Structure 1
Amino acid sequence: METDSGASSAASKGVRMVHAIYPERDSLFRSIAVSSEVLKANKKYFGVQCTQCGTEMKKLLKCAKCKSVWYCSKECQKKNWSTHKPTCRADERSSGLYKLVRMFSVNPVLMGYLKCGIVFECGLLGNPRIGFDTPFLARVEIAIEPSDPLNFGGLYVNDPTVEEKLEGMLQVNAITPWPSPSMQARLTPKRLNTWREARARYNAEGFAEDPVGLVEFIGHRCTDDSTNSMTAELHIPKMTLLGAMTRAPFTFVSAITGIHKKPLSAASCLEFINSHIRADKQNQLFLRTEMTEQDKEVIRAAGRNEDTFSVRILKEKMEREQLYAGFLQLTRPVVT
């Protein structure tokens, strides 16, 4: 078994972090990962519409502050400003969420497991109307974490020796369904119209028996629970529904416990997605990027046990996935 181990200044407080790697991790990743060539070819299927008028665009003219809305002209940007202004939040990443969400969305392996998790979370198996005459929306909470778990631990315990420049990777922290008790607000007219158009188009293309909804990718910032997001239509193929119905056990590998099985669920789908991205050491999936201070602060805030939405979402992910089990014991009290 290959083992990476590291000790930070936190070791003086009795903390030693060890990262063990399953010996067959790389071969398992290669056996199911989509090639870089296929992902590059798939990018042409990912389009962006003008936020104001809906025109499909080849050249991106994005909001300079949040980088999460696009316009076909300065005129459309001016018309949309009164609507966009209340939710516009600064993003340190030059392309915002766009490049990472695009590469995630064109990856059939990752999207397949995400759609399976959405089937469970949005109740598609229990209500035959959802996705047909009733819309649904899945909020997918994403974040950027260090690609090296030891650096995650260093940020979590606020180790001052953690390097300033850190390689990060996209992670999916949660799926929140709409409608749900915590999301009672109605869909905006624009989103409702987007869903209706998508539903009609898939009916015409021969997919009348497949559910269609919306997916919103949300990137959280620690300050004031502010967010940036991207929304797209979501087609759930019948084979995904059938796979969710079988609830076949999900096989995982761990350097600590070896091969083990978990029930197929939204939680196990998310854990697979995150571990698959983590295993991509060569950035074959194009889901790695340099971490910003905003990214790092969410993890530090979780270590301080702050009560913000971004921290709660991260803590839920840590409780759900085996990799983080030891970190939760290191939570520091909040200083007031």
Structure 2
Amino acid sequence: MARVDIAVEPSDFLNFVGLYLNDKAVGEKLQGMLQVNAITPWHPSIQGPLMPKQLQTWREARAKYNTEGFTKDPIGLVEFIGCSCAEDSGNSVTAELHIPAAVLDIARKREPFIGVSAVTGTQFNKPMSTVACLEYINLHIRADKQNQLHLHAEMTGQDKEAIRAAGHNEETLPARILKEKMEREHLYANVKQLTRKTVK
């Protein structure tokens, strides 16, 4: 099982910057989009065993995919946690995850991602890694301007406060997870520099 911490950020990156820097000019109603802030593997020795409902979900998924002929494919569980509050008690949902053999083959090859700079048009390769995969997922969601993935929604006050808390360098769980994401993903590099200049 894996824990996936998700949050909602503004669809317009400039609004993210405004919230992060606590700019009062940022509008009250903001279009947001889902972002994956962290993926953490489940360690039974640390987090304890699966809950009975989770175990039942996995057993049912395993049986279903066995019946469909996927007996050799791994079946996992993913717990999506929407943690936009100060405590580690956000809303969560657990879902089955069938990992097809073809996907595992791609992952094992670890071929780099091929991208194109939006600024220069230059093609570049980025080594496949967990960090690169998370960044790619988030960029893919961000690029969905027409909301074809249905991952856009109006931001709540809690969503906005989590970003402001990160900008204030608070130590709430959502703020810490967002700051870690900002350290990983290139999109946020200039925001961090801007923050450092503002603090001086």
Shift of 1:278: 1.0
Q: What is the aligned-residue RMSD (CA, Å)?
A: 1.8
Distance in 2 of aligned mates of 1:318 and 1:244 = 24
Q: Is 1:164 aligned to 2:4, yes or no?
A: no
2:113 corresponds to which letter in structure 1? F
CA displacement at 1:207 relative to structure 2 = 0.5
Shift of 1:283: 1.7
TM-score, normalization by structure 2: 0.91
Select which of 277, 288, 303 maps to 2:167. Answer: 303
Higher relative contact order, chain-length normalized (CA < 8 Å, sep 6+): 2
Aligned to 2:104: 241
Deviation at 1:180, TM superposition (A): 6.8
* Residue 93 of structure 2 corresponds to residue 230 of structure 1: yes
Aligned to 1:221: 84
Whether 2:114 is the aligned partner of 1:251: answer yes
| Cα offsets for 1:32-72 (capped at 9, x unmatched) | xxxxxxxxxxxxxxxxxxxxxxxxxxxxxxxxxxxxxxxxx
Structure of greater Rg? 1
* Cα pair 1:138 1:216 within 8 Å, conserved: yes
Aligned to 2:13: 149
Deviations 1:116-169 (A, max 9, x none): xxxxxxxxxxxxxxxxxxxxx111111110011110000000001111111111
Could you say which residue in structure 2 is the equivalent of 1:189? Answer: 52
Contact 2:86 / 2:174 at 8 angstroms: preserved in 1?
no
3-state SS of 1:224 partner: coil
Partners of 1:198 and 1:283 in 2: how far apart?
29
Q: Provide structure 1 residue ranges, at least 5 long, that are not aligned to the other structure.
A: 1-136
Equivalent of 1:177 in 41, 44, 56: 41
Q: CA deviation at 1:225?
A: 3.3
| CA shift digits 1:268-319 (9 cap, x unpaired) | 1111111111112222222111111010000000001111221121111111
Alpha-carbon offset, residue 256 of structure 1: 4.6
Identity of aligned pairs, percent? 65
Q: Which residue in 2 is equivalent to 1:209?
A: 72
Aligned in 2, Cα 1:267/1:260: closer, same or farther, shift over 3 Å?
same
Alignment coverage as a number of residue pairs: 196
Do 2:8 and 2:32's aligned partners in 1 also have CA atoms closer than 8 Å? Answer: yes
Distance 1:225 1:201 in 2: 32
C-alpha distance in structure 2 between counterparts of 1:317 and 1:271, whole Å: 9
CA distance in 1, matches of 2:52, 2:146: 42
